[in-house]
Every structure is written in C-alpha cells, then in structure tokens.
Structure 1
C-alpha cells in the first residue's frame, strides 16, 4: 500500500451493492457520457469500472496500486461482458506519466479522504485532463461513522477522516480546477465535480 493512502481498504462487494444498486445510474448522474475517455483512479475491485466501460464504450484507463484489485476488476468486467482499453498497476500519483493521452474525465471513489497530499494528486489529474475536462471525487458525507450503517454495521472511513465538499474544494481548486457542482448520492455519499480551468 502506498504511503499516499491512509487507512483505505476495499470493502465487501455486497455492501457496495446495498449502497449503490445502480452504479451506472450513479455515474450518469455524475456526468459520465458516451464516447468520453475516462480514468478510473484507484479502481479497486471494479465496482464502477465495468459500468464506466459500458457507458463510454471501453475507453477506460483503470488504475490501482494493488495487482490483486486489478485482477478482480478484470474479472468483474469480463463477467459483465464489457472491455476496458487499459489496465495499469501503479500509484495514483503516476497517472500522468502512464496515461499517453489527454482524457475527458477522471473518477475516484471512496479514496480521496485517505490521500496524504490531496492537492498533489489533483495536480497529477490536471496534467492528463483536457481543457474543461472533469475530475469527480465521490466521498462519504461527514456524518459520524455510527450513522452510516450498511447491512447492520457502521461503514466507511473514521469520522475524523471524512471531508465536507468545502474541504475537498479547498484541496482541489489550487491545482487548477473550479467546483462545478456537488451531487448528493443517497444515502451516505456525495460527488464533487470539478472542471479543469488551467
């Protein structure tokens, strides 16, 4: 595990499905559109990778530091009958060096709260986005952890690690972005959608 990510781990798939029974609908609500080229940053086990690929026709760079997660994500996309154009095992900070083209959209879910230098990661993302490209960060609302129960158990990061949309904005905008909108993702999440400005 990189020292960039603090106290992050991949949860059980069953409770992701309990939270988000329609991941493709979540992605569409967050502005993912057909024919975009997308980076699924810290893709984990592929819960969002397969629906991303379905929407954009496979034009996805799926990156994770853990080869076991990449293998799970590959298996999940195969199970769902979709293809992903590029699989990358690497630290998220290396995304600019490993993505050979500018992309339309970068997506990261449930990981940003554990990034030790969030502005540096946002700068790496800015380096691969087209002008006016979008960087979407999905986070848990800053509710106390005991209030975010899934399948009968408190879930998500520790209360003190949770971020408000304003704290995400403060970390990302200095990297050359402006906050375009915040999307509430019931019951416990939100997405901040940033547009590249520099």
Structure 2
C-alpha cells in the first residue's frame, strides 16, 4: 500500500530540497557497519551517498516500481555494489530483514503514514541494540513548497513520542540549516 500523499515530483525539483551529505553526516549514518534500511528510497537521493559512507549493505525499499528501477540503475551506474534495492510494501509486510540485523534506519519524509507507531515498531524490531534511526520530515511551522497536507504532517514532538511508544529512545533533535524545510531527530534502540 502506497503511503498517503507520497507522490514524487520531478527528480530535479525534488533534489533541490535536500543536501544528502549534510543530513547523513548530522545523523551519524557513517557509523553503520552491520547494514542500513531505507524506508522509502524514492529516486535514491540518500541511498547512494549512504552507500558510500557505510561499511555494510544498504537495503533500499520502495513500493513504487519506477523508484526501484531508478535507484537500481543509479547504483549500477555508480558501481555501488553494497546497495540492495527491493520493491516492497514495508507498511504491510515489514522490511524483510531479520530481527536485530541492522544498525541504522532512515525514515526520511515517511512518518505521515497512517500508523507511524507501527512503522517505528518495525524499525525497533530490525535494529540491533544501540542501532540508530534518523528521522526527517517537512516542517509545519513555515511555508514549504512540497510535503503532505498540514493535517497529516507530523511535528517533532509527535515523532519523538511515537518513537518512544515503539521502544526507541530519543537521542537528539537536529536543526537542519542545510535543509531548512525539514526538521530532524535521531532515535536509538536501547542497548538493554
């Protein structure tokens, strides 16, 4: 099932809203060595830079076959062999990775799903103890040129609360000067 209000604009336009290198650096992505799951890879904007940073595999998931094909082609064209792209309904079927098998999850512009706590429980399940989850989403306190409707757009405090309901600990909020239309926060699966 496709996430509500998840249609993608033209790729060139979409790319103008983000600085992937800055975001991945601020969210400790480079520390991943066991594997990373990206929930909704889209055009692969974050997938490729993440694959260059991490030591393990990047499992890039999306339900849209066009997004999957685009990301697969980019990975091939750039010679990145540590990317596994899969067409998957991770809302309905989970991410397909074993329990506690990865140490990072990317939840970028996805927590406007109908059951955000359910998705975060899946993130908790797949993260190894000490594993981290980076969250970014469109801000609702300023005008933004894209993003879901304001009535389904989450606030940072909601994302933090949802993460805690799913068993994840809050690490920190991130002001994203490099991506001013978004807010960010980092969550973690507790070690004990």
What's the TM-score bracket when you normalise by the shorter of the two chains? 0.7 to 0.9
TM alignment of 1:1-198, pairs within 5 A: 2=1, 5-20=3-18, 22-36=19-33, 37-57=35-55, 59-93=57-91, 94-96=93-95, 98-100=96-98, 102-113=101-112, 115-144=113-142, 147-148=143-144, 154-186=145-177, 187-197=180-190
TM-score (norm 2): 0.88
> What is the total number of aligned residue pairs between the two structures?
186
Residue deviations 1:131-176, cap 9 Å, x none? 01111111011135xx22xxxxx32222222221101112221111
Q: Which runs of 5+ in 1 are unaligned?
A: 149-153
Residue deviations 1:35-80, cap 9 Å, x none? 5211111111111111111111461111111222111111222333
Quick check: 1:43–1:108 contact (8 Å CA) kept in 2? no
Distance 2:81 2:56 in 1: 5
Distance 1:67 1:49 in 2: 16
Q: Aligned-pair RMSD on alpha carbons?
A: 1.9
Q: Which runs of 5+ in 2 are unaligned?
A: none
Distance 1:105 1:120 in 2: 17
TM-score (norm 1): 0.85
